Structure 1
Amino acid sequence: MRAYDSRGKEPEFKIVINGILVISLLVVLFPFLYVLMTSFAPREEILTRGFFLIPHQWTLNAYGYLMSSDQFVGSFKNAITITVFGTIVNMVFTSLMAYGLSKPWLNGRRVLNFMVLFTMLFNGGIIPTYLVVKEMHLLNSFWALFLTGAIAPFHLIVLRSFFQNIPIELEESGRIDGCSELRLFWQIILPLSMPAIATFTLFYAVQNWNSYFNAVLYLNDSAKWPLQVFLRQMMNEGNTSLENMTTEYQYSPAVKMAAIVLTALPLLVIYPFLQKYFNKGMLMGSVKG
């Protein structure tokens, strides 16, 4: 007879699955480890040793090089500004519209839902959207980034389903106590929807932090470019100069790797605090009960 564990699965099967998971983890972790270790290596070691994972000498010169760059620090501040205010705009517009569309008594609800679904298949296109932004005098403004991506249709649909799963009795009791719709939404619906709110806040934050194409399209002033645009310029244009820098570390591999680490660091720090809401929010919003 074959030996089974407490869950009825063969031990050999678990060994194979665990082995596949470990290999997958190493494959995913390897590039991150290489980038991190290279960022701490001196320029001479990178040029002489070639490929390595653990540097012989450790230095923070690449990070100091970036921190003393006005261009890098400015783009980092721009990325934070775009992420914070852009995420606030996203969540305000998305949550309010999702709450309204979750009400069966809303006039024109079917038409609005169809318009939301339609935008998931077709959009206005790059040129028409650019012309609208230009006519609204939003070029070279962060508002061009905030408003053109204010609502993601998929996030709206899932959040609408989440609101529909909240018992109607809670809303009725709030209306009996004299709550307005806005107060009902703020004091009853939102506290009950924290898993979904935290989940889509993370989604929008990642989207805004990684903003690149719209920033290149709508922001003509390089002083307003976010971090992703600066990082792209750094990777592609090795002859672009940084201010107040020595030529020893200018766009060396260590500096490029340090820029990648600093770009990914904020999201890596924020994600563990929202992880507990992530699965719960997605599952509860994806199933209509």
Structure 2
Amino acid sequence: MESWKRSRVDKLFDWMNIVFFCVLLFIVIYPIYFIIIASISNPDLVNAGKIAFIPHDISWVGYKRILSDHEVWNGYKNSLIYTVLGTIFRVALTITGGYALSRKDLPLSGMIMMLILFTMFFHGGLIPTYLLVKDLGMVNTIWAMIIPGAVSVYQLIIVRTFFQSTIPQEMLEAAMMDGCGNFKFFIRMVLPLSLPIIAVIVLFNAVAMWNSYFQALIYLNDVSLHPLQIVLRKILIISEAQTDMIDASADAVEEQKVAELIKYGMVVVSSLPVLILYPFLQRYFIKGVMIGSVKG
């Protein structure tokens, strides 16, 4: 049998795809690369547009200023704690809640879903929420960062739809005929089949928890409990304030340069854990995003 020969049109199409995706990859990666080289380059050259691909007048002052602050390390520790505990708590509630709502034998499932959807469009407001958190004794505790807003209605709907389209009722009936209960069926059969959607929910919640700062501004007055985002924001504000207080002299110019380095360095420092986490979840993330688009 003769081998199939690709036509010139097919080869041209392949090369056009390669060029297109290379350009797209450059558009996505270059901003991250620019921030990295800008964080160690002379700010005057960066502001003048003379830094494009290669750093010049390399300086580590920005990173030294950031990493020498003990509050940064404490903020890193707090953010890791909030991210790990918060992600576990949120994923557990979302997965179990989505599975329960996907079951046809759940009494009043339609009414429960309507009540949940109601909270997606109507909210009590910031002040009532704060008063509730305060009355529950969660102000100035790690639980103020974890419990409020633990369940996203949007994610709950996604998980519920996944279970409805992926876990057939016949599988549950067959398992029960073999003596398998609801809990055992969920642990041994549902969870292993749900790794893509779990990875998506983990990634969404981990990124949201890592970047969260608004809840900390409202509920956390204790500096020792502040997450990394609040600490970096504080460093940036102090650096800019010190620059404004110094007279127009050589010291002011140098402090302004350091403030610029700190600004870019904070982006790198705060984004690094997410950039490290994403490659490990990318495979499952792509599968989860494509859930429901192709069946078979």
TM tier, smaller: 0.7 to 0.9
Paired AA for residue 269 in structure 1: I
Count of matched residue positions in the alignment of Structure 1 and Structure 2: 275
Aligned match of 2:290 in 275, 283, 286?
A: 283
What is the match of residue 94 of structure 1?
A: 94
Partner of 2:274: 267
| TM-score, normalised relative to structure 2 | 0.82
Retained in 2: the 8 A contact 1:94–1:156? Answer: yes
Structure 1 pair 236–19 and aligned structure 2 pair: CA distance change class (3 A): farther
Partner Cα separation in structure 2 for residue 144 and residue 72 of structure 1: 21
Alignment partner, residue 141 of structure 1: 141
Residue deviations 1:18-49, cap 9 Å, x none? Answer: 766655554544432221002223xxx33477
Question: Structure 1 residue runs of 4+, over 6 Å off?
Answer: 17-20, 247-250, 286-289
Q: Unmatched 5+ residue regions in structure 2?
A: 1-6, 243-251
Report the counterpart of residue 6 of structure 1 in structure 2: 10
Q: Distance in 1 between matches of 2:141 and 2:294?
A: 39
> Corresponding residue for 2:210?
209
Q: 1:282 to 1:271 in 2, by over 3 A?
A: same
- Tell me, yes or no, if the aligned pair for 1:234 and 1:256 is still in contact at 8 Å: no
Q: Please give the alpha-carbon distance, in whole angstroms, between the structure 2 residues aligned to 1:49 and 1:156.
A: 44
Indicate the residue corresponding to 1:152 in structure 2. Answer: 152
What TM-score does the superposition give when structure 1 sets the normalisation length?
0.84
Larger CA deviation: 214-223 vs 247-256: 247-256
In the alignment, which residue of structure 2 is the partner of 1:74?
A: 74
Distance 1:224 1:240 in 2: 24
| CA-CA distance at 1:257 after TM superposition | 1.6
Alignment check: 8 A CA contact 2:94 2:151 kept? yes
Structure 2 residue 222 is matched with structure 1 residue 221: yes
Q: For residue 257 of structure 1, what is the aligned residue in structure 2?
A: 264
User: In 2, distance between residues paired with 1:268 and 1:198?
Assistant: 15
Task: List gaps (5 residues or longer) in structure 1.
Answer: 242-246
Which deviates more from structure 2 when the two are superposed, residues 175-184 or residues 256-265?
175-184
* Cα distance in 1, alignment partners of residues 27 and 295 from structure 2: 37
What is the Cα deviation at residue 232 of structure 1? 2.3
Change (3 A) 1:285 1:118: farther
**In structure 1, what residue type is equivalent to 2:94?**
T
Give me the whole-angstrom Cα distance separating, in 1, the residues matched to 2:92 and 2:293: 20
